[in-house]
Amino acid sequence: MATKKKAENNNILSIDIGGTSIKTVLLDESGNMLTEYLKSKTPAEATPKDIVTGIVELIKPFPDSYNRVSIGFPGYVKNGIVKTAPNLAKSKWTDVDLAQRVANELGKPVRLVNDADQQGLGVVDGKGFEIVFTVGTGFGTALLFDGELLPHLELAHFPINKEEDYDDYIGNKAFEKIGPERWNKRLKKVIEIYKTVFNYDTLYIGGGNSKQIDFKLEDNIRIVTNRDGIKGGAKLWKLADKYNIFTVEPQK
């Protein structure tokens, strides 16, 4: 639930773009929610224009009481430029200046990162080597050490067998095709692979299909929500100088 704190102009508009929905909330600098958490459906085969329009429509109920914008995006992002978006419109997202488009539309500076990275900043304890999974439309990962975000790796696109990468293997299309029982067996396999390869201290699992998990998790594995993850939008500004994350200013 949102706090009762008065919104001030040093607040952050935090946005989480997913393959099925766009989520947003206003945060203070500490990550406290100042408004209700809103979401709307992501259009099928969403183009850059669809996403920008969706953001503008979704935030209409919010007061103009923020001066920064954080965006988590389901793909590979470099310096505010989208390089890949495997679960949105095909052939429409190569080298798209999404951060600049949103900055110009809202008149605020924007920091754009991978959605799992933003969620990681919102949910981790900051102790040791922590990994975040997002199991939603696709499969996302973030790696953090002592609370600091490590360089993003598109681990979803490593092959898991001769025909599939992790996105194909554990994403929502696979869930709908093979059903919850087989999907859970696959998720168990993925967890075992990551446990063996990375020897993480804590694994966090979020995303829409995390609620489909039907097996007992080890003590160092936690289920997290999108509401928790979107709070990473505040930390993205508080700590981003450490990570040299690119800030895109609106063009007049």
7 pLDDT above the threshold of 80: no
Three-state DSSP at 188 gives: helix
The distance between the two most distant Cα atoms of the chain, rounded to a whole number of Å, is: 54
Q: Tens of pLDDT along 155-197?
A: 999 999 999 999 999 999 999 999 999 999 999 999 999 999 9
Q: Backbone phi, then psi, for 231, in 5-degree steps?
A: -65, -15
Domains of the chain: 11-117+232-243 (3.30.420.40), 123-228 (3.30.420.40)
Q: Global pTM?
A: 0.92
Half-sphere exposure at residue 108, Cβ-oriented, CA atoms within 13 angstroms: 19
Q: Tens of pLDDT along 118-155?
A: 999 999 999 999 999 999 999 999 999 999 999 889 89
Evaluated on CA atoms 120, 85, 53, 210, the torsion sign reads: negative
